[in-house]
């Protein structure tokens, strides 16, 4: 498993907006498929309306997505912790 950042544009309501999702997956094709699945489920966006512009492998320590942090928790702990500073809730 690797961590991927999928970025692109999709229709959210009546507007098209940019999105970025961090996803744990075995390869880029699986990450793309999961992104389509997540956006279709959350926002009722059909696959043909979602434009994926980039699928890049990332270091899991730079992600803030709970699913990525949970999947790679042992690897993150062994490497000395996260690289992203925690944001305080207001």
pLDDT in tens, 8-35: 999 988 899 999 999 999 999 999 999 9
Domain ranges of the chain: 2-57
pLDDT on residue 22: 96
pLDDT in tens, 36-59: 999 999 999 999 999 999 999 999
- Which CATH fold topology does 2-57 show? Ubiquitin-like (UB roll) (3.10.20)
- If we measure between CA atoms, which residue out of 8, 34, 20 comes closest to residue 64? 20
Record the pTM.
Answer: 0.85
More confident residue, 68 or 82: 68
State residue 13's pLDDT score.
84
- The CA distance from 66 to 60, in Å, is 11
């Amino acid at each position: 498993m690797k961590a991927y950042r999928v970025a692109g544009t999709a229709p959210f309501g009546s507007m098209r907006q940019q999105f970025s999702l961090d996803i744990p997956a075995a390869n880029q094709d699986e990450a793309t498929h999961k992104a389509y699945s997540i956006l279709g489920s959350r926002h009722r966006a059909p696959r043909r309306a979602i434009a994926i512009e980039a699928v890049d492998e990332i270091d899991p320590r730079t992600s803030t997505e709970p699913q990525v942090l949970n999947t790679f928790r042992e690897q993150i702990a062994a490497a000395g912790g996260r690289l992203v500073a925690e944001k305080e809730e207001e």
